């Protein structure tokens, strides 16, 4: 048999570095692939390539998936105002779906026999990666050394040192995963139920203690401009993140249920995602009907849950996306936001589709669309079902 061609989902960290060296020494032709969803700059990619080739990779490829990530996932998270457990903007889980899709497509492209990732057996990522791989390419073998061998971090470091890799693998106090839709932060505090992350744990430190105003321009649900300057949504997300992170905005700790049934806790920093989601939601309150908003809340929550659990390829996700797309037809206008240290305010909106149209009727004020008798009759009929219930059950 010839050399088995293998694609490794490579991040440059300890786990994937161990996988790269071990699999290459076991005779695999390892093609290391990094998928950039907003976490790597040019210098980081260059460094990752150097390390990968030094540790035995046959080739190294960096795939820029920012556009794919936005179009396939982030756009719908905004449309749905998706916050898992009303807290977390699905920063990491959303990335993993796109990364898995890009990796399996690359594996097919080069005719790989196997695909590998560095996930452990305790977390969510193993499920997300394996589900996508198995659905899209059931014929390709999945190899997971860290999970299968139940390796500790110390075991991995020892193996790499034995094989001449003397890079610094000392365990950082905090694990940080950065991307377009937020940055997760894990540390000793998140392993408990009562401690909070210290200020120093967050990648962005507060630089501003004043107040700034910013105007977000939405067009059919997408962020198309900031302060009158029109640009692509991806660029706008990054610009807003750069501006808002200096205020220490967007920090929180998420507690949730993992796919495998245990509770997990993680800190995160997501200034732009939280501002965008809340601003978009406010604009929807003004431009959508009551029942549009009601149905969106149910379906968007379901969409977020399925995405979090790796079920992106289920056809129901395309059905939900069709609904979310349709719901955005009138979500166009400006949202006025104030940035303050550690918080932001939504001051109001301006839209041609604003349903608070004073020419028809103002809440709590004199109406122009109905008479007093109309209102009395409406209320009388509306009370019928409760009148009947109370009459039937009064004596009981």
Question: pTM here?
Answer: 0.92
Give the pLDDT confidence of 179-213 residue by residue, as tens digits. 999 999 988 899 899 999 999 889 898 999 999 99
In whole angstroms, how far apart are CA 148 and each of 29, 62, 143, 274? 20, 26, 8, 37
- HSE-up (13 A, CA, CB side) for residue 137: 22
Give the pLDDT confidence of 364-374 residue by residue, as tens digits. 666 777 888 99
How far apart CA 49 and CA 62 sit, in angstroms, is 8
How far apart CA 221 and CA 228 sit, in angstroms, is 16
Sheet strands (E) in the chain: 5-9, 29-36, 59-64, 114-116, 141-143, 174-179, 182-187, 212-219, 222-226, 229-230, 251-257, 263-269, 333-340, 343-350
**Range from 45-49, 108-112, 199-203, 225-229 carrying the lowest mean pLDDT:** 199-203
Give the pLDDT confidence of 8-61 residue by residue, as tens digits. 999 988 899 999 999 999 999 999 999 999 988 899 999 999 999 999 999 999
Report helix angle 91-110 to 290-308, nearest 10.
Answer: 60
The answer to whether the CB of 123 falls within 8 A of the CB of 96 is: no
Tokens 């659905």 identify what position?
Answer: 135
Phi then psi for residue 269, to 5 deg, are -130, 115
Domain definitions of the chain by residue range = 5-171, 175-288+330-350, 361-396
Task: State residue 292's pLDDT score.
Answer: 97
Sheet strands (E) in 38-135: 59-64, 114-116
Q: Is the pLDDT of residue 278 over 60?
A: yes
How far apart CA 46 and CA 37 sit, in angstroms, is 16
Q: Average pLDDT over the chain, rounded to whole? A: 92
Q: What is the pLDDT confidence band of residue 271, given thresholds at 50, 70 and 90?
A: very high
**Over pLDDT 90: what percentage of the chain?**
76
The answer to whether the CB of 98 falls within 8 A of the CB of 68 is: yes
Q: Is the pLDDT of residue 172 over 90?
A: no
Task: State residue 350's pLDDT score.
Answer: 97
Query: 5-171 belongs to which CATH class?
Result: alpha beta
Q: Is the pLDDT of residue 1 over 60?
A: no
Task: State residue 203's pLDDT score.
Answer: 87
How far apart CA 351 and CA 33 sit, in angstroms, is 44
Is the domain spanning 175-288+330-350 CATH 3.90.740.10? The answer is no
How large is the average pLDDT for residues 157-186? 83
Task: State residue 340's pLDDT score.
Answer: 97
Task: State residue 366's pLDDT score.
Answer: 64
Tokens for 149, please give them: 């061998």
Task: State residue 258's pLDDT score.
Answer: 85
Burial of 301 (0-12, 13-18, 19+ CB in 10 A): middle
In whole angstroms, how far apart are CA 381 and each of 35, 291, 393? 60, 21, 20
Burial of 194 (0-12, 13-18, 19+ CB in 10 A): exposed
How far apart CA 344 and CA 249 sit, in angstroms, is 7
Q: What is the pLDDT confidence band of residue 2, given thresholds at 50, 70 and 90?
A: low
Task: State residue 383's pLDDT score.
Answer: 95
The answer to whether the CB of 38 falls within 8 A of the CB of 63 is: no
DSSP string, 142-176: EE-HHHHHT--HHHHHHHHHHTT--S--PPPSEEE
Task: State residue 170's pLDDT score.
Answer: 60
How large is the average pLDDT for residues 247-256? 94
Tokens 């839209």 identify what position?
Answer: 351
In whole angstroms, how far apart are CA 25 and each of 22, 159, 308, 319? 5, 12, 35, 45
Name the nearest CA neighbour of 218 among 112, 129, 350.
350
């Amino acid at each position: 048999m010839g050399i088995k061609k293998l694609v490794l989902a490579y991040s440059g960290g300890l786990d994937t570095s161990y996988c790269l060296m071990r699999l290459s020494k076991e005779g695999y032709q390892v093609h290391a692939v990094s998928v950039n969803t907003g976490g790597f700059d040019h210098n980081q990619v260059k460094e990752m390539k150097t390390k990968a080739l030094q540790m035995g990779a046959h080739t190294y490829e960096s795939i820029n998936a920012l556009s794919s990530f936005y179009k396939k996932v982030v756009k719908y998270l905004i449309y749905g105002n998706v916050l898992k457990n009303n807290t977390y903007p699905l920063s990491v889980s959303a990335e993993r779906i796109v990364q898995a899709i890009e990796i399996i497509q690359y594996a097919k492209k080069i005719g790989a026999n196997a695909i590998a990732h560095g996930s452990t057996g305790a977390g969510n990522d193993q499920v997300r990666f394996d589900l996508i791989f198995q659905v899209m390419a059931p014929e390709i073998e999945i190899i997971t050394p860290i999970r299968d061998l139940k390796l500790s971090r110390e075991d991995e470091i020892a193996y790499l040192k034995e094989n001449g890799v003397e890079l610094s693998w000392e365990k950082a106090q905090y694990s940080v995963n950065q991307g377009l839709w937020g940055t997760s932060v894990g540390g000793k505090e998140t392993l408990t139920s009562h401690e909070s992350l210290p200020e120093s744990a967050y990648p962005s430190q507060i630089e501003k203690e004043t107040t700034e105003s910013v105007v977000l321009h939405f067009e059919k649900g997408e962020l198309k401009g900031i302060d009158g300057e029109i640009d692509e949504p991806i660029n706008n997300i990054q610009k807003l993140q750069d501006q808002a992170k200096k205020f220490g905005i967007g920090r929180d700790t998420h507690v949730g249920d993992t796919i495998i049934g245990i509770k997990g806790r993680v800190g995160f920093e997501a200034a732009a995602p939280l501002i965008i989601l809340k601003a978009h939601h406010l604009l929807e309150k003004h431009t959508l009907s009551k029942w549009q908003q009601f149905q969106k809340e149910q379906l968007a929550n379901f969409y977020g849950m399925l995405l979090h659990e790796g079920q992106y390829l289920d056809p129901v996700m395309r059905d939900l996306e069709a609904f979310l797309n349709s719901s955005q037809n009138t979500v166009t206008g400006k949202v006025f936001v104030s940035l303050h240290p550690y918080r932001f305010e939504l001051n109001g909106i301006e839209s041609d589709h604003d349903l608070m149209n004073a020419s028809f009727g103002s809440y709590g004020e004199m109406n122009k669309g109905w008479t007093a008798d109309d209102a009395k009759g409406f209320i009388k009929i509306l009370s019928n079902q409760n009148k009947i219930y109370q009459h039937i059950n009064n004596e009981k």
